[in-house]
Amino acid sequence: MDRQLPEGVQSLPDVAIWESVFTVAPLVLVGTREEDGAYDLAPKHLAFAMSWEGHFGFVCTPRHGTYQNCQREGVFTVSYPRASQVVIASLTASPRCDVADGGAIAKPIITAVPTFPAQRVDGELVCDAYLFLECEVDRIIDGFGANSLICGKILVAHASREAIRHEDVDDQDVIADAPLLVYVAPGRYARIETTNSFPFPKDMAH
């Protein structure tokens, strides 16, 4: 059956869908413990809440240290950086350094990122971020092409006081006081300071 696309719409190549258009995603820093005991941070944008009951997941690849650390240690942390921390978020994507015996050491830049210890898991969280999650690995699902989904159960969450919503404070004021950092894939970012209420239908639960 010959079905035509609407005027102005064109098909995208399967291998380059997410490189062909811009999409908006959160940007988080996932923290894990390396095999040698050091701590690592890695930026992730395919990262999201996976339920209303405290599950969080992110996409990774078995080739990355983050995947291997989660699989071995069974825990990870998540820090949501502020818009003012975009450079720190970028630096955590630095590659590991090779050593003489063919192994690798933790990213040197990580030692320059201010962190504080997690309360319930063996991990580090990024200072001055606005939301912090401490998670235990619930399951790892392989097979999304070369990628995998790492899902964790949130054991405890923390947030900066000014970023927490309150009944007596307008939501827009909360966002204005603590602007959000979003990743505009591929390769861009934005600072969100102004938002509008979504026009939900009457009596719709959200």
Q: Give all strands of the β-sheet with 188-192 in edge-to-edge order.
A: 23-26, 180-185, 188-192
Q: What is the pLDDT of residues 155-168, one digit of tens each?
A: 999 999 999 999 99
DSSP 39: E
Tens digit of each residue's pLDDT (9 = 90 or more) over 166-187: 999 999 999 999 999 999 999 9
Q: What is the mean pLDDT of residues 73-84?
A: 97
Does 160 map to a domain? yes
The answer to whether residue 127 is domain-embedded is yes
CA distance 135 to 175: 25
Task: Report the pLDDT value the prediction gives residue 1, as an integer from 0 to 100.
Answer: 64
Phi, psi for residue 122 in degrees, rounded to 5: -85, 95
Residue numbers of the domain that contains 148: 22-192
The answer to the question of residue 54 being in a domain is: yes
- Please give the tally of structural domains in the chain: 1
CA–CA dist 47, 29 (Å, integer):
10
Enter the tokens of residue 21: 């258009």
Residue with tokens 């720190």: 88
Q: Is residue 202 part of a domain?
A: no
Q: Which band of pLDDT confidence, cut at 50, 70 and 90, is reported for residue 204?
A: confident
Going by pLDDT thresholds of 50, 70 and 90, the confidence category of residue 99 is very low
The residues that bridge with 156 in the sheet, in sequence order, are 134
Question: Quick one: pLDDT at residue 176?
Answer: 95
CATH of the domain at 85: 2.30.110.10
> Which H helix or E strand runs over 144?
strand 131-144
- pLDDT value for 100: 44
Residue 3 lies in a domain: no
Quick: pLDDT tens for 190-202.
999 999 999 989 8
Q: CA–CA distance from 82 to each of 55, 89, 157 (Å)?
A: 22, 9, 16
The per-residue pLDDT for range 13-72, each reduced to its tens digit, is: 877 899 999 999 999 999 999 999 999 999 999 999 999 999 999 999 999 999 999 999
Q: Is residue 10 part of a domain?
A: no
Tell me whether residue 87 is in a domain.
yes
